[in-house]
A and B are shown apart, each in its own frame.
Chain A
Amino acid sequence: AQSVTQLGSHVSVSEGALVLLRCNYSSSVPPYLFWYVQYPNQGLQLLLKYTTGATLVKGINGFEAEFKKSETSFHLTKPSAHMSDAAEYFCAVRGSARQLTFGSGTQLTVLP
């Protein structure tokens, strides 16, 4: 079985500030981990993924995430928030089964 917990359903940051969105996972096998972003009334866009190898993963739009096995975490960060980053962010895990299990999402608000 696998599960994802996203801490903080809403996060607000000022433009230019650090973005940190938290994700903890549970998986009975070595996980593949993903972050997706969803803009209003749209589907999900892949930001980045971790499969094997380097634990620091870089994605699109300046986002990155670090896989920490000991902490079962895969937090998403961006050094400097931009207004266009305002969206909902979903962490997902794929374990032994091929489906993705998603967290409940974090709504990111960027304040001017």
Chain B
Amino acid sequence: ETGVTQSPTHLIKTRGQQVTLRCSSQSGHNTVSWYQQALGQGPQFIFQYYREEENGRGNFPPRFSGLQFPNYSSELNVNALELDDSALYLCASSSNSGGVGTDTQYFGPGTRLTVL
């Protein structure tokens, strides 16, 4: 069984640029959640995708957007990068059983984004 994978591992961008991060969910999982983890802090929820639609969003501005594809993989896009966007971006996959169950989230290794 393949776990959650993310690409790239590291990324360096400059302020104002745009970035796309990618996530492949664990086999059998249909839901992907994205989190931002700033240095020294716990992960903060960005948004979740289920069946290719946004299924919940945290307190992040619209320049953070996402997609989920039919194979349940996902992308996180961030426009107009700011210095404070520098963080570890974590993707988690889970199996959403329509409201039943724990939806335990399994995390990928993350993408380290540095904005200069």
Task: Say whether B102 contacts A44, CB under 8 Å.
Answer: no
Q: Which residues of A contact B110 (CB under 8 A)?
A: 42-43
- Interface contacts (Cβ under 8 Å), in number, total 61
User: How many B residues touch the partner, as a band?
Assistant: 20 to 34
Question: How many A residues face the partner with a CB closer than 8 A?
Answer: 24
Task: Say whether B103 contacts A44, CB under 8 Å.
Answer: no
Q: Which residues of B contact A42 (CB under 8 A)?
A: 109-110
**Stretch of B14-22, B40-48, B75-83 with 4 or more beta carbons under 8 angstroms from chain A:** B40-48
Chain A 72-109: CB-based contact to B (< 8 A → 1; otherwise 0): 00000000000000000010101001111111110000
**Partner-A contacts on B (CB < 8 A):** 4, 6, 31, 33, 35, 40-45, 48, 55-56, 58, 90, 92, 96, 102-110, 112
- Pick from A43, A98, A99: contact of B107, CB under 8 Å: A43
Q: Which residues of B contact A36 (CB under 8 A)?
A: 107
Q: Which residues of A contact B43 (CB under 8 A)?
A: 44, 90, 100, 102
